[in-house]
Chains A and B, each alone.
Chain A
Amino acid sequence: MTGQSPSAGADAPRTPVLRLEGIVKTFPGVRALDGVSFDVLPGEVHALMGENGAGKSTLMKVLGGIYQPDEGQIIVGEKPVVMTSPLQAKATGIVFIHQELSLATELSVAENVYLGELPKRSFGRVDWKTLYAKTNEILGRLKVGFDAKTRVGDLSIANQQMVEIARALTVDAKAVIFDEPTASLTDAEKVVLFDVIADLQSQGVGIIYISHRMEEIFKITDRISVLRDGQYRGTLSTAETNEDEVTQLMIGRKLDLSRNVSHHDLGDVTIEVKGLSCGNLFQDVSFQVRAGEVLGFYGLVGAGRTEIAETLFGLREPSAGQIFVQGEEVQIHSPADAISKGISLVPEDRKGQGLVLGMSCRDNMTLPQIEDLKAGPFVAEGAEIAIFDKYRDNLDIRTPGWRQLVGNLSGGNQQKIVIGKWLSMHPNVLIVDEPTRGIDVGSKAVIHDLIRSLAAQGYAIIVISSEMPEVLHVSDRIAAMYSGKLMRTFTSDEVSEDNLIQAISGLKSDQAAAA
């Protein structure tokens, strides 16, 4: 915890940088926001929490001038403001760091930072000198390792996010809103981000921090406001509350993230990998997973975890090594090969790689197997609906019906559709990459339980996750990756947060064991 930062309210009254009063926004049939009021003090980090669909995004759109509230007002400093556009919000000093980065990847960092506001010389020419100088000054404040002329597309996601933050710093920001800023950051990158936030804080900027991650919330915020079903549920002082209280406020029940040890017997080795390499992405990786076992892969972003999954699924060609499924060596050159060998992948980017958002729930679920379901040349719709119904019931997918477009479901239900899609193919191996990315707290537990129960049913499961509590929670064994190498595989008895962190930071496993 930051400790020295004042817990809000009690001290001398300060004027909030931003105040919301009784914001109401309705859409046909739904009250998306129902009287939301809270304020952000200068120099405060104010967490905004709530499950997906609680109204956070709608509230941010109201704040950003994308939606107009039906009732209530926004007060910046002392003045009520009517936000009519994102541009106006920015001019008022309300700046957003969006979860989905909106950068022109072919342009330089400087051009992105000053996009729309490039400094000009006579005849409308760009003043490159000033542009680069001003950008480098901001980048200096952020202590990043790239310069203004770098092409944004060449940067890592974490550094691209820094460009977004740099963009926010070009105006005299009164309040900066971070929407799930750590979703794709590694632990080391998070530290840098938190430094930047602390820096903004010390300059008297108010910060709204939207996140699902309790750990972070308790580390860096001063107060926590909670939304549920569009309603404001209260503001807690971070120092005086705990995770349980916040979770209960959000979902009305408790969340169990304790360690989960297998209570069932393991079967034979389902998949075994020997000396698998793929160029410079990962080298000489060997492991095996038994039926009924969950092997977790933990490591920093770029350590090669996703690439292993993609290689097993036929999206990448291995440069060396062997893959055995149920004792037989297999050659995998395409996803179709992998699927025929019973290997399936629930990808990291659900919307981009896992689902066809414009298609119905049923059509998504049967996508890999309609070839097998056809009657003559035709799609057998009856069989499809039967499959959908079965996995809707088994996985408890909440949808009005099979016709519903997948794009309209919540993240947790979308993930279940992807999982159901593979289960209906009766795979041997289920690889789940970041199973709960972008999924709200309540549904995370559901997905975790689902993974455990699938293991109990005898599937061999590989889980890749960047969240340590998640890996510890669902895995029977944990493989720690560092820079393309499998450093060590821990059994659940051996593993601790300390030795896991050491292993993924590149410390030798024997050192880690000695420590």
Chain B
Amino acid sequence: MASGMLSTFLKRGAIWGFILVELIFFSIAGEQLSLSDKAFMDLDNMLLLFKQSAPIGIIAIGMTIIMINGNIDLSVGAIFALAAIVLLDSMTWPIFAGLGDWAIPLAWILALLAGVLLGALNGFIVWKTGIDAFIVTLGSMLGYRGLVFIYNGENPTSHLNWTLVDFAEAQWLGLHTATWFLLGATFVIWFIMNRTVHGRNAYAIGNNREAAVNAGIRVGPHMMINFMLIGFLAALSAVVFYSESGSVNPNDGELYELWAITAVVLGGTKLTGGSGSIISTFGGVLAIQLLRKGLGHIGADTETVNLVIGLILIAVLFLDRQLNIKGKEELRV
């Protein structure tokens, strides 16, 4: 049936179509409105766009698996900030002083470990208490952010290691280090969700928790693994970003959880769980970054950008709903 295939295509490929529309719009509008004489789709500009997508993007990939699993994690912004502090501060610790540049991998491992532990704590509480993940991570969002402030008050934590900065600023096959990490995270998580037992069970739990329990699937451990994964990815995002910038403010990463959720939802993952796609989230991340960059390119200020993204999010979900209703009516027969 042609109409069925069309609506399936529209649903699956919607985000990529949207990205295409953005590219065309900003290229044309850029000709007319941009103050710079560079084209919007200039190669350097596009490479930069990927790099700038990385911090939110890596977190959004993790948020996708959490949401497919039927949960949500609001604490990722705070984990991001805390992991950044662990990264930058640990490199100055006296015990690492004699190691030279070997302090770098140790600092990375410590920061990532911090992320995994904080995520594990979230997952453990959700598992053992049965409290909704929204509430648990709302609490830990405040709690983890509190730890960030306890660490260094209102002051930024800074440490620049030039070896690290070189690594973070490097380009390999044209793509920046951060971009490679985003692509890597996307691929690995896609693989986990689509090819492993854990991924399959995560979908099943999100779609019908009771049926999953009745099939002997232990729901708790799977949820905990997912929280550890997102903790890891939030820390990875921080590690990649702060290796380059070298300074973290205690407010950094605020609202990241909401940006990540926005990207996930734009990519078509359901808030109710059970369905969603890692690749589409990647598309969602790019679409948001394109919008920011594009609007900036044609001279809009930040406030306008947020307004437009908000409106587009609602419009996209409305469209998605219409397509889904249409699809359902066809399936009923």
Contact = CB atoms under 8 A, between A and B. Distances in A.
Interface in B181-215: 195-198, 200-201, 203-204, 207-208, 210-215
A335 B275 contact: no
B315 to A, nearest CB: 25
Contact of B207 (A28, A336, A338, A357): A357
Contacts of B203: 356, 358-359
B207 A374 contact: no
Interface stretch (B80-88, B234-242, B325-333): B325-333
Nearest to A345: B214
A368 B215 contact: yes
A335 B216 CA distance: 5
Interface string A320-354: 00000000000000111011100001010000111
B307 interface: no
Given A29-B1, A378-B195, A378-B196, A353 B333 contact: no
A44 B81 CA distance: 72
Interface in A96-123: none
B197 A371 contact: yes
B3 interface: yes
Interface string A366-401: 011011001001110000000000000000000000
Contact of B333 (A30, A334, A371): A30
Interchain residue pairs A-B with the least CB separation, the first 7: A368-B215, A336-B216, A339-B216, A367-B215, A27-B333, A30-B333, A358-B207
A356 B212 contact: yes
B218 interface: yes
A363 interface: yes
B4 A28 contact: yes
A354 B211 contact: yes
Nearest to B210: A353
B197 A370 contact: yes
A367 B204 contact: yes
A27 B207 contact: no
A29 B5 CA distance: 13
B217 interface: yes
Nearest to B2: A28
B204 A359 contact: yes
Contact of B201 (A58, A338, A352, A370): A370
B274 interface: yes
Nearest to A421: B215
Contacts of A335: 213-216
A357 B215 CA distance: 14
Given A336-B216, A367-B200, A378-B197, 20 more contacts: A27-B330, A27-B332, A28-B3, A29-B1, A30-B333, A313-B214, A335-B213, A335-B216, A336-B218, A338-B216, A345-B214, A352-B208, A352-B210, A356-B212, A358-B208, A358-B274, A368-B217, A370-B201, A374-B197, A378-B195
A377 B196 contact: yes
Nearest to A66: B329
B27 to A, nearest CB: 37
Contacts of B204: 356, 359, 363, 367
A400 to B, nearest CB: 13
Contacts of B331: 407-408
Majority SS at the chain B contact face: helix
Interface of A: 27-30, 32, 57-58, 313, 315, 334-336, 338-340, 345, 347, 352-359, 363, 367-368, 370-371, 374, 377-379, 407-408, 421
B211 A355 contact: yes
A28 B200 contact: no
B64 to A, nearest CB: 16
Nearest to A310: B214
A258 to B, nearest CB: 33
Interface string B298-319: 0000000000000000000000
Given A356-B204, A356-B208, A359-B203, A379 B215 contact: no
A280 B166 CA distance: 70
A320 B15 CA distance: 56
A356 B211 CA distance: 6
Contacts of A363: 200, 204
B216 A357 contact: no
Interface of B: 1, 3-4, 195-198, 200-201, 203-204, 207-208, 210-218, 274-275, 329-333
Contacts of B1: 28-29
Contact of A352 (B4, B211, B329, B333): B211
30 contacts: A27-B330, A28-B4, A30-B333, A315-B213, A315-B214, A334-B218, A335-B213, A335-B214, A336-B218, A340-B216, A345-B214, A347-B214, A352-B211, A353-B211, A354-B211, A354-B214, A355-B208, A356-B203, A356-B208, A358-B274, A359-B203, A363-B204, A368-B215, A370-B200, A374-B196, A377-B196, A378-B195, A379-B197, A407-B331, A408-B331
A338 B207 CA distance: 23
Contacts of B196: 374, 377-379
A419 to B, nearest CB: 13
Contacts of B330: 27-28
A357 B274 CA distance: 10
A381 to B, nearest CB: 9
Nearest to A347: B214
Nearest to B329: A27
A26 B331 CA distance: 13
A352 B214 CA distance: 10
Contacts of A378: 195-197
B213 A379 contact: no
A407 B332 CA distance: 10
A338 B213 CA distance: 12
Nearest to A29: B1
A358 B277 CA distance: 14
A60 B3 CA distance: 25
A357 B213 contact: no
Contacts of A359: 203-204, 207
A368 B213 CA distance: 9
A362 B190 CA distance: 20
A58 B332 CA distance: 9
Nearest to B204: A356
Interface hub of A338, A367, A374, A408 (most chain B Cβ within 10 A)? A367
A472 B53 CA distance: 66
Nearest to B199: A379
